[in-house]
Amino acid sequence: MVVGGGIVGLAVAWELSQRGQDVTVLEKENHWAGHQTGHNSNVVHAGLYYRPGSFKARMSVAGNRSIVDFARQYGVPVQVCGKLVVATRESEIPALDTLAERAERNGVPAKRISPAEARAHEPEVACVAALRVESTGIIDFPAVCTALVRLLDEADADLRLGTPALGIRAARGGGVEVATGSEVLRADALVNCAGLHADRVAELAGLTPSARIVPFRGEYYELKPDRRHLVRGLIYPVPDPALPFLGVHLTRMLDGSVHAGPNAVLALRREGYRWSDVSIKDLADVARFSGAWRLARKYAYPTGIEEVLRSFSKKRFAASLAGLVPAVTEDDLVRHGSGVRAQALRPDGSLVDDFLIESARDQVHVLNAPSPAATSALEIAKHVADRVSA
């Protein structure tokens, strides 16, 4: 039984069904891919940023290939267009060189290029140096989920929308029992892919997870149609190596629109896509968690304050983008939407920087799977299926 109907949960279910398992998928919403999968940037990541040897590094490099192959096989829109990571100041060049070294170690096709070469790809970009990453792409991740649901349906999987997991216990004689509110279901094994609620599902199952989910909202703008020509592909800044966020960037989508963002602010509920989305319970959980206070002391000033100010100021948001493409102005931007990142945080205040997967008897829990989890979904699924079978 798989809890969670985002791309990771559906990929796990499909992998298990291919291995001959009878699979049930429980999704609390009335549609698939309702949260992280349906609100992300739709970028197929190359594996550039991640620590060599980590789950993220290995699974994103392999996932870059497998998700593109899956899309082409099953008619999902995808385009491998490459991207630029640009240093806009001399002080960023050492970090850019570190990224280039990491790309080489991870097996990512990336090349350091000059400002003139960067402008051959993106005529409006401003930089003192750049990294060209050829294998980055754009895909329709919700359409990947639609294809997975179709394949699961053809494999006679039991797919249940509007069915939350409300209680989980070990079954007598082995396996698990899951209460949904209307019935109690039994399975030989449970896989928790609940994303924003993964830690809570783990607690329902009797585990004490080693990390807690703290939700961060990322807000997007979009370039007006008559300004889309300013961006041909994907333009990213050099990220802060101390943070798991990649910084505000520009992305040309499959339909030709250009998205700008995201920033990163604390969401006021687990599924808080607007400042007005507030949950007292979710805020109390954050307030009671020592790791959240330790994180705040480390990053609230100036990083956190700047992100909040940028959330409320289109002028500040535009200024961040103008660092990459000087022609972008405040008047060029319109609000597009938001996503919420399920970021796992340890009690010492450290951000979990890799995929975190923990096991118990007859249970596997995917406790940290933010970006690049969508890119890596088919590879995460293989790893989880191996654990289920162990």
Question: Which pLDDT band holds residue 247 (cuts at 50, 70, 90)?
Answer: confident
Helix (H) or strand (E) holding 219: strand 212-223
Pick from 26, 60, 56, 20: nearest CA to 389: 20
CB 231 within 8 A of CB 258: yes
Average pLDDT of the chain to the nearest whole number: 96
What residues does 112 pair with on adjacent strands? 131
State mean pLDDT over 296-321: 93
| Predicted local confidence at residue 301, as pLDDT | 81
Identify the pLDDT of residue 246: 77
Q: Is the pLDDT of residue 389 over 90?
A: no
Structure tokens at 250: 């520009």
Contact 305, 237 (CB under 8 A): no
Beta pairing, strands 249-252 & 176-179: unpaired
Residue 215 scores a pLDDT above 80: yes
Kindly report the pTM of this predicted structure. Answer: 0.96
pLDDT digits (tens, 9 = 90+) for 123-152: 999 999 999 999 999 999 999 999 999 999
Average pLDDT estimate for 27-52: 96
252 and 228 in contact (C-beta within 8 Å)?
yes
Residue 59 — pLDDT band, cuts 50, 70, 90? Answer: very high
What's the pLDDT tens digit per position in 342-355?
999 999 999 999 99
Give the 3-state secondary structure of residue 129: strand
pLDDT digits (tens, 9 = 90+) for 75-124: 999 999 999 999 999 999 999 999 999 999 999 999 999 999 999 999 99
Model pLDDT for residues 363-388, shown as the tens digit of each residue: 999 999 999 999 999 999 999 999 99
Per-residue model confidence (pLDDT) at position 367: 98
Residue 390 confidence class, pLDDT cut points 50, 70, 90? confident
DSSP string over 82-126: -EEEEE-SGGGHHHHHHHHHHHHHHT--EEEE-HHHHHHH-TT--
Question: What is the per-residue pLDDT for 245?
Answer: 72
